[in-house]
Amino acid sequence: MKSYKRYVWYIIRHKWYTFKGRLKYKVPLWQLFIHDLSKFGCAEFNAYRIWFSVNDKSPESKKDFDKALLHHLHKNPHHWQYWILMTDKNNIHPIDVPEKYAREMLADWYGAGFALTGTSGEERWYRDHYEDYQFSEATRDLIETLFDECN
């Protein structure tokens, strides 16, 4: 029962801080109400809870978590992975992230930073993972413009 409470408390904190990031990145209110609701669903909740709150890193738990994560990324367009097209020849083709989802993504990074570490650090997070993120050039330009405008 403790792991359930701990995980729900994390989601609530994350949503609260993402809501605060909404003010910084000018995300519409309705968008934040539906932000990460899939984490409460059957396809994600238990696997995430076991992975993060129970800290079970067994191969079976990893398989369940990976499946839940894939579901989450495909259901939530504020994740950059949602906008990746994998071609038949395993070529990665990033699609431009619409501005409303780019803003939500930055608010999400803001919220995750506060929920996990007590500070936002979304711009540092972006710089630290710059090479890992598969963004289109237009999306990179948009994100960097939003950082400039909103800081």
Please indicate, yes or no, whether the overall pTM of this predicted structure exceeds 0.75: yes
What are 91-149's pLDDT values in tens digits? 999 999 999 999 999 999 999 888 878 888 899 889 999 999 999 999 999 999 999 99
Neighbouring CB atoms inside 10 A of 24's CB total: 16
Site of tokens 């993504």: 105
Taking Cα atoms as reference points, which of 99, 108, 97, 82 lies closest to residue 17?
A: 108
Helices (H) and strands (E) in the chain, counts: 7, 2
Taking Cα atoms as reference points, which of 122, 109, 54 lies closest to residue 79?
A: 109
Domain range annotation of the chain: 2-36+76-150
Max intra-chain CA distance, the chain: 45
